[in-house]
Structure 1
Amino acid sequence: MATYTTNSTQITEGASLSQFFTTLVVSATVAIIEITIFVIIRKKFKRIYEPKTYLGDENRRVEPLPSTCCGWLSTLLKMPQEDLIRTSGLDAYFFARYLYMHAFFFLSSFVLVALILLPVYIVDGKGASYGKTGLDILTFGNIQPRYSSRYAAPLVLAYIFIGAYLYFLYAEMKIFVGKRQTFLRSPAYQSCASATTILVTAIPKEYMSEAVLFRIFNKFPGGVKYIWLNRNLKDLPDKADERMKLVEKLETTECKLIRAALKDEAKYRKTIIEEDIIDKYFSETKRPTMRMGSIPVLSSLCFGEKVDTLTYCKETISQLNTTIERAKTSLDNYVVINSAFIQFNKSIAAHMAVQCVAASIPLAMTPRYIDVKPVNIVWSNLTLTYYEKKVRELAILAATIALIIFWAIPVSFVGILSNLTYLTDKLTFLRFIYNLPTALLGLITGLLPTVLLAILMALLPIVLRLLAKMSGIPTTDAIDYYLQGSYFVFQVVHAFLFVTISSSVTSVITLIIQNPPSAATILAANIPTASNFFFSFLALQGLSMAANVLLQAVVLILFYLLGTLFDNTPRKKSRRYFTLSSLEWGTIFPIFTNFVVITLVYSIIAPLILIISGFAFALFYIAYIYTIFYVADFSNDIGGLTFPRAIYQSFTGIYLMEILLAALFFLAQNEFGAQSAIPEGVLMCILIVLTIGVHFMMSSSFDSLTHYLPMDAEELSPLEAPVSRKPIMQVLDLSRTNNVTNIDNAINELYDNTVGHAYMHPALRDPKPIIWIAEDKLGIATEEVRQTRASGLNILMSTKGARFNKKMKIEINSMPPDHVKTLENNNGIDRTRF
């Protein structure tokens, strides 16, 4: 094998150590600064850092943490993990558990693995004579050919490490199934409508009636309680959306005029005394106008008829209110489509119905979904037939594969950049980098690639989420679940495999050019050096990501900056204040399962990664339990189902590690050039088979219990909480509620009746919106409310809970007057329609 002995190549081979320490120092410095700022300002900005201490469901709130420098951390770590279930749901609890279990496992494993393997790799290794310096001497590739008997050590440690990890996964799955079944049987869960309701899609025309569906599904225990047939509402949803846009435009215009009047108060008092207050401050010269036309773009470019904004918005909202209210009372005018929601009296019936063969017609009434929350339904995807959905799925699959292929180009460039110094032997024009300061060289080849990779991977979730929705998935919960799988594939392929391959090829490209027949052997000997990039990558992620999650610098700036610039109505202020930030499991979980895969693959080849990853996961755990307890909302709680998917995805790391070790053993050569570790390679192949067996056993044991209630659930359940039944067409009619003081009572009545139309389309379910403007000291808003009420228009207006202060800024002290709590509250966070 060729060796490097020149000064330049020694710098090249040892550069990884400089890269790692540069990345570590820079990342640690930035993290310390961010955490220090967080500790200082945490109590000053409670809305950003502790909103769940006073917002949301009172039963789900948490006690504030101490304000001392370190007291908050010790108190946080002492909080029981089970409290996460109460405050945030099963997904949040098991996500935190996933981080904790891997921090513990990796740190404890490092003690054993490093104690045995590092001496095997370091003592009498290849060293500088083979071009192995810096971090390279701590890897599998540093074993000298004449010491081929040492390959037994990584083999034995691989069996022990993999065996322990598989047992670890099995134990965690047992815990998950126990808690998941307890959750499904709990009174809190079974009191939710989604616990007893299923979504049936692709229903044949001859079955699309309440009577037929009742006969089919009433055979299950307790029978059917309610059936909602989905209908083609034509342009009704568009009209509801248009109405809400006009409501916000009217609110913006009203508040803008009131603010202008407050600023000109002194001027008007001197010049006009006896005029009507509206005419006084909303004179014709000051009233805003807008242009109307059939083409919105042309209308905005000064084409179309000019109309008074206030008058047009009020009249159009009134007309839309009347149209929508009529539609609610004449549903028979809308044709039923091929899907329906069916609610049962008992949750066990819903779990049985979703698993059975529902129809004798091939592909009819499938797929079916359970635990569908009304707030998370993607209504536009409910009209698809089975074949339409399959065509979409195939098209999206093809698009996803194409995206994987073409995304490899920029990601491979990042891998090459991380090993730029290895290219200088053949690409001589790059040798100028040796003239750069060591710290700068470390930044370019260590920190820059990791930052670029993080940016590239941040762009993917947006595209993948859009593709998932286009594929026809009917709920945001299911979209998140699908995204957890597709985004994980991207993470492994691009953030691991392509980087590993490109890094390994780049580091030995000159040797491969010189000796092409030995390419496989050369790659096998140098693949372990790709771990150098992931040392830096995990160190950067552990420090910077944890600090960023705690500080929320972008959220802090945007909350106050955007709030100041754009929140010019009470509704906009309320939406920003009461809507908590969220964690989307479909894009959060795959990031950390990929970190697990990377760590597992290199755990035996480069044991140092275990301690780096272990500390990174410990930092992740601290940052995210704080966020889960005190900051984040969880609108897409999937009942913990993200955890078993993450567990099975973790097997990817085991398989890749086993395949890589087997390949390294088979390609290992002694000092005479003969293969020297064939028995070790065979034993690794046997371990692969054993791992597949464990994987299959776990899947067959836990899959059904993961998703469904067993038949003995009723024997173990302490309570089967019923959901009261209301007439399906009992929809609140606000058109006759002209007294503003009665609005609150009307809204409370709607909440009480929510169950009866919980699974109706929002265009049919949502109440008539209330125009919400801020009260002012001149009485303009009060007079505007009075005149609107007296106008005879089918429109509501209120100033409740909002006012202009002395600085002419809007202040709010309540939700919008038309806010409605939704039926579902599975994870303890109130859902509010703004």
Structure 2
Amino acid sequence: MSAIDPQKALKNNSTTAFLTALAVNGGLLLLEVGAFLVLKQRLWRIYSPRTVLPPPNKRAEELPSGPWKWIPALLTSPAEDIIHKNGLDAYMFLRFIRLLLIIFLVFTISTFLIIVPVNAAFIPAISKGLDQISWSNITEPKNQLRFTAHVIVVYLLTAFVIYLIQREMLHYTYMRHQFLISKSHSRLAQARTVLVTPVPDELANERDLRLFASFVPGGIDKIWMYRDTTALNALFEKREEACKKLEAAEARILRIATLAWREKEKIYSRKLKDEERTKAVHKLVIPQINSNILDELVAPNLRPKHRTGFLGLFGLKVDTIEWCKMDNKWMEAHPKDIVWRNLDDGALEMKSRYITSWLATVGLIIAWAFPVGFIGTLSNLSDLCEKVRWLRWVCEAPPVARGLVEGVLPPLLLAILFVLLPFILRGLAWYECIPRYSLISVSVYRRFYLFLLIHGFLIVTLSSGITNVTQGLAGAGSALVQLVPLVMHYLRKWFLGRTPRQAYEVTFQMPSADFGVILPRLSLLATITFAYSVLSPLINLLALISYGMFYLAWKFLLTQVFDQPDEKETGGLYFPMAINNLFVGLYIEQTCLACLFFLRASSAGVTAVIQGVFMVALIVLTALAHALIHYSFSPLKQYLPMSLATSQMAKRYSKHDGPLHDEDGEIDLFSRHRMHSVRRRIQNTTKKLDGKLDQLKAKIQGEDGQGPSSKEGVNDSKLSSHDTEPIAETTAISSSSSNDLPELSRKKSSDSGVSKQSKKELTKRQVFDAAAPAVEDSDSSDEDDEDDHAFDHPSTYADQAWIWIPKDTLGLSEYLSKELKDAGVYASDVGANMDERGVVEVTRNPPDEVWGGGHDL
């Protein structure tokens, strides 16, 4: 880490370098905003997919047309609507940007009204450029009393920040609890499921686990035991790869055949006479489709082939389609947030992996210092060229060129260096054996911010000054223009959209934000601004403009563009970590000021020492406030208090007589009525009997030698032995007590194919819907029926994915589908079409998934 010199820390950034960086980033901002305004009206797929792609009842409202009318409409729309569209993580992310916007608005006003006059008024023009309004303009000992204004302002601003943090934590806690008890969230499986890993061997069976958890009111509905299926999992993954390979090979054959037939038509058309060409007979007649016409259009040397060895580079070269036809296994829906590979390890191995992962992170931080330190020295070439002889040519270079090297090149190189870092950190978090993808992202947040704090600030920024803050201007513009997603969309459409599934991803899949990577960057910008907020007040104005643009850009993206999947939802857990990062910025600011005061003690005397002591006292007060906020909210940041559950239950049953209450009016969870209700709830498994009998009947009728019907577009999975297990048990219950049980509404689960964001759609007139009852009656039909395999590894029950083939103009797709069905592989061409140029277009999701509606192409 670079040492902090009171003079050098503020003068390293020349006015030329700063103005050059400001001009470049400001120019990029104008260019990006201009491109956005032009492209926004023409490319709805990139800039407003939420208004078109989701089902009609889940679409976002379209913003007014025109270059500027959309801005007031966007800013006046309720931010709470983002919860309905993208969950609480997205809402709290936008709330965090709003918090920083308020903070730096007050910082800008206060420092410009107090600090700037104190730094510049009635002082001879010793410094030049921007230094005239910074700390370095009053470094003479006779001006030491002027620093008292800096101490007072730091105290006031720190108190203001702590007040806002405490207020926002209260709001976060309230919103998180309301989100968790809302009916829409409570009905989801993850809201009622606890993942316990690892489990001691003596409890690793269903009976002992139920006994262990018998104290839970209402008991345990279902227990899923994860079995060690390592070998089976490997086969499952190989089958998935084989299905993708087969699908790509079929699409390639169809494309080759379509283009070959188009070429034959062109040749035939050229042979016709002019008078014949005017008649509508110039097209070739499509012959009857069979293997001969397919072999004629697709020569054997053009058929897709691959090698079966390592990475497809070695081994026997085989025909891809014939090789893939030999696979015939199972596929069905599975929870997307579980990292199945990380559930196999014991407690000791998980602990060792955790330690190893963080040791590797620390080692990476140390190794990263060398390239980052070199980039930091580029910001100080003006100083180095005076001391290093072979760099004197830098001092002789034109000011503009020197400004580009010192102000633009370091941030650019640093951005390139940090592009690959999140992928490395994600691999380390994965190695840590974290069992959920959403928690892996949270771990990436912690590591990435630590990297940015050390290398992006403590090493680079303290040696290069406030120039890096100008990157926020261009960063906000790039978030708005979405340049990378725009380029990637067309690259994927032109080069990767060859199969129906790839075309579906390009057409229907909306992008999502990884807050574990985005939030650390925004937090770092706040940390830098805090550190320089009093030393160089101009940084507050830059941060204010940057966060204003970030707020506008991200509110637009989260309402019009992005679609956050439910399996990545953490319920706002990123927000407390981002709040802690603000305290880091306060600590760095106060420590820097204390060091600067104490370093001036030799020349300024007792006054500087007293001011330094005041800053040390402020550090202590800030730490006490931080600890108080942490311990006050720590029990409530992640878990839902039982008091909320009992209060909701009391409200629900207050209008009824007292079967749930005892003589003192207290709620008795273990009363006879309650336990009877629990027993009846357990018996509710019989409501699945009718549905299972219908499925059995349909499967038996369907197994008459024909493949699955492609018209329905829903996977009618084969009968497994598990389907018949509860039949004998539930039949007796149903026959004996069907008259005693209340009528139960039958529900069909749509979890297998419908996008998860559909479950986030809440009423628009209120932030959250009514809270789910804490203890439900046995006849409640609010809960979604849980799949018996919901938390089993897919390899233990899954059906093979359907091979989705595009329907071509020749009708070859029907022939290929029948060929695959005869080989025992499910296939369909529903919802996918290939035109005469070989371009694939889709109108729905894969046919083995339930279609929930959407853009009608």
Same fold (TM over 0.5): yes
Amino acid at match of 2:53: L
Per-residue deviation at 1:420? 1.1
For residues 606 and 802 of structure 2, the distance between their equivalents in structure 1, rounded to whole angstroms, comes to 80
Amino acid at match of 1:317: D
Deviation sequence 1:432-489 (CA, Å, 0-9, x none): 2233332222111111112222222332211111101101111111111112111111
Secondary structure (helix, strand or coil) at the match of 1:247 reads helix
For residues 821 and 215 of structure 1, the distance between their equivalents in structure 2, rounded to whole angstroms, comes to 41
For residues 267 and 664 of structure 1, the distance between their equivalents in structure 2, rounded to whole angstroms, comes to 78
Structure 1 regions of 5+ residues with no counterpart?
1-8, 329-372, 504-529, 823-828
More off after superposition, 758-767 vs 473-482 = 758-767
Q: Where does 1:547-562 land on structure 2 (aligned, <5 Å)? A: 547-562=477-492
Equivalent in 151, 157, 171 of residue 155 of structure 1:
151
In the other structure, the counterpart of 2:341 is 380
In the other structure, the counterpart of 1:710 is 641
In the other structure, the counterpart of 1:786 is 818
Seen in structure 2, the aligned counterparts of structure 1 residues 681 and 274 have a Cα distance that, compared at 3 Å, is closer
Q: Where does 1:385-534 land on structure 2 (aligned, <5 Å)? A: 385-501=346-462, 503=463, 533-534=465-466
Amino acid at match of 1:433: V
For residues 727 and 230 of structure 1, the distance between their equivalents in structure 2, rounded to whole angstroms, comes to 24
In the other structure, the counterpart of 1:354 is none
Per-residue deviation at 1:778? 1.7
Seen in structure 2, the aligned counterparts of structure 1 residues 675 and 125 have a Cα distance that, compared at 3 Å, is farther
Seen in structure 2, the aligned counterparts of structure 1 residues 785 and 625 have a Cα distance that, compared at 3 Å, is same
Per-residue deviation at 1:545? 0.9
Counterpart contact for 2:307–2:318, Cα < 8 Å: no
In the other structure, the counterpart of 2:250 is 254
Secondary structure (helix, strand or coil) at the match of 1:811 reads strand
Seen in structure 2, the aligned counterparts of structure 1 residues 66 and 290 have a Cα distance that, compared at 3 Å, is closer
Amino acid at match of 1:148: Q
Equivalent in 71, 81, 97 of residue 79 of structure 2:
81
Amino acid at match of 2:574: T
Per-residue deviation at 1:59? 4.8
Deviation sequence 1:495-542 (CA, Å, 0-9, x none): 1111244x2xxxxxxxxxxxxxxxxxxxxxxxxxx5xx32x211222x
For residues 788 and 224 of structure 1, the distance between their equivalents in structure 2, rounded to whole angstroms, comes to 44
For residues 21 and 514 of structure 2, the distance between their equivalents in structure 1, rounded to whole angstroms, comes to 29
Per-residue deviation at 1:605? 1.8
Per-residue deviation at 1:727? 8.0
Counterpart check, 1:685 vs 2:616: yes
Deviation sequence 1:303-349 (CA, Å, 0-9, x none): 52x544322211x222x45xx89xx9xxxxxxxxxxxxxxxxxxxxx
For residues 307 and 19 of structure 2, the distance between their equivalents in structure 1, rounded to whole angstroms, comes to 63
Secondary structure (helix, strand or coil) at the match of 1:433 reads helix
Deviation sequence 1:751-800 (CA, Å, 0-9, x none): 587632211113235432111111122211112223433x2x32111110
Counterpart contact for 1:670–1:676, Cα < 8 Å: no
Secondary structure (helix, strand or coil) at the match of 2:218 reads coil
Counterpart contact for 2:249–2:304, Cα < 8 Å: no
For residues 66 and 133 of structure 1, the distance between their equivalents in structure 2, rounded to whole angstroms, comes to 47
Equivalent residues, number: 725
In the other structure, the counterpart of 2:770 is none
For residues 380 and 496 of structure 1, the distance between their equivalents in structure 2, rounded to whole angstroms, comes to 36
In the other structure, the counterpart of 2:44 is 46
Deviation sequence 1:602-621 (CA, Å, 0-9, x none): 11222221111111111111
Per-residue deviation at 1:746? 4.1
For residues 389 and 359 of structure 2, the distance between their equivalents in structure 1, rounded to whole angstroms, comes to 41
Secondary structure (helix, strand or coil) at the match of 1:803 reads strand
Question: Percent same amino acid at aligned positions?
Answer: 31
In the other structure, the counterpart of 2:88 is 90
Per-residue deviation at 1:233? 1.3
Per-residue deviation at 1:126? 7.7
Per-residue deviation at 1:292? 7.6
For residues 586 and 262 of structure 2, the distance between their equivalents in structure 1, rounded to whole angstroms, comes to 76
For residues 434 and 164 of structure 2, the distance between their equivalents in structure 1, rounded to whole angstroms, comes to 33
Q: Where does 1:24-423 land on structure 2 (aligned, <5 Å)? A: 24-56=22-54, 58-123=56-121, 125=123, 128=126, 132-143=127-138, 144-265=140-261, 277-283=290-296, 285-286=299-300, 295-296=309-310, 300-301=313-314, 303-304=315-316, 307-314=318-325, 316-318=326-328, 320-321=329-330, 374-423=335-384
Equivalent in 757, 760, 765 of residue 789 of structure 2:
757
In the other structure, the counterpart of 2:755 is none
Per-residue deviation at 1:108? 2.1
Equivalent in 811, 821, 826 of residue 796 of structure 1:
826
Secondary structure (helix, strand or coil) at the match of 1:67 reads coil
Counterpart contact for 2:714–2:847, Cα < 8 Å: no
Counterpart contact for 2:476–2:550, Cα < 8 Å: yes
For residues 235 and 750 of structure 1, the distance between their equivalents in structure 2, rounded to whole angstroms, comes to 30
Per-residue deviation at 1:235? 2.2
Seen in structure 2, the aligned counterparts of structure 1 residues 423 and 568 have a Cα distance that, compared at 3 Å, is same
For residues 274 and 97 of structure 1, the distance between their equivalents in structure 2, rounded to whole angstroms, comes to 63
In the other structure, the counterpart of 1:650 is 582
For residues 769 and 150 of structure 1, the distance between their equivalents in structure 2, rounded to whole angstroms, comes to 73
Per-residue deviation at 1:71? 1.0
Seen in structure 2, the aligned counterparts of structure 1 residues 806 and 276 have a Cα distance that, compared at 3 Å, is closer
Deviation sequence 1:655-705 (CA, Å, 0-9, x none): 11111111222222475x645411111122221111111111111111111
For residues 693 and 551 of structure 1, the distance between their equivalents in structure 2, rounded to whole angstroms, comes to 42
For residues 285 and 566 of structure 1, the distance between their equivalents in structure 2, rounded to whole angstroms, comes to 23
For residues 147 and 18 of structure 1, the distance between their equivalents in structure 2, rounded to whole angstroms, comes to 27
Per-residue deviation at 1:591? 0.9
Q: Where does 1:599-618 land on structure 2 (aligned, <5 Å)? A: 599-618=529-548
Amino acid at match of 2:624: G
Amino acid at match of 1:90: L
More off after superposition, 430-439 vs 284-293 = 284-293
Counterpart contact for 2:384–2:391, Cα < 8 Å: yes
Counterpart check, 1:769 vs 2:801: yes
Structure with more relative contact order (C-alpha pairs < 8 Å, separation 6 or more)? 2
For residues 665 and 37 of structure 1, the distance between their equivalents in structure 2, rounded to whole angstroms, comes to 47
Seen in structure 2, the aligned counterparts of structure 1 residues 69 and 611 have a Cα distance that, compared at 3 Å, is same
Counterpart contact for 2:46–2:486, Cα < 8 Å: yes
Seen in structure 2, the aligned counterparts of structure 1 residues 769 and 118 have a Cα distance that, compared at 3 Å, is same
In the other structure, the counterpart of 2:470 is 539
More off after superposition, 185-194 vs 447-456 = 447-456
For residues 692 and 240 of structure 2, the distance between their equivalents in structure 1, rounded to whole angstroms, comes to 22
Counterpart contact for 1:145–1:670, Cα < 8 Å: no
Seen in structure 2, the aligned counterparts of structure 1 residues 708 and 565 have a Cα distance that, compared at 3 Å, is same
Structure 2 regions of 5+ residues with no counterpart?
1-6, 269-283, 654-677, 717-747, 753-784
For residues 631 and 11 of structure 2, the distance between their equivalents in structure 1, rounded to whole angstroms, comes to 48
Equivalent in 621, 625, 639 of residue 694 of structure 1:
625
Per-residue deviation at 1:278? 2.8
Amino acid at match of 1:213: L
Per-residue deviation at 1:225? 0.7
Per-residue deviation at 1:546? 1.3
Equivalent in 631, 645, 653 of residue 561 of structure 2:
631
Amino acid at match of 2:813: A
Per-residue deviation at 1:159? 0.9
In the other structure, the counterpart of 1:738 is 707
Counterpart contact for 2:13–2:379, Cα < 8 Å: no
Amino acid at match of 1:408: A
In the other structure, the counterpart of 1:598 is 528
For residues 215 and 378 of structure 2, the distance between their equivalents in structure 1, rounded to whole angstroms, comes to 64
Seen in structure 2, the aligned counterparts of structure 1 residues 280 and 100 have a Cα distance that, compared at 3 Å, is same
Seen in structure 2, the aligned counterparts of structure 1 residues 569 and 691 have a Cα distance that, compared at 3 Å, is same
Deviation sequence 1:248-288 (CA, Å, 0-9, x none): 22222222222222233378798999775232123584375
Per-residue deviation at 1:544? 1.1
RMSD over aligned Cα atoms: 3.2
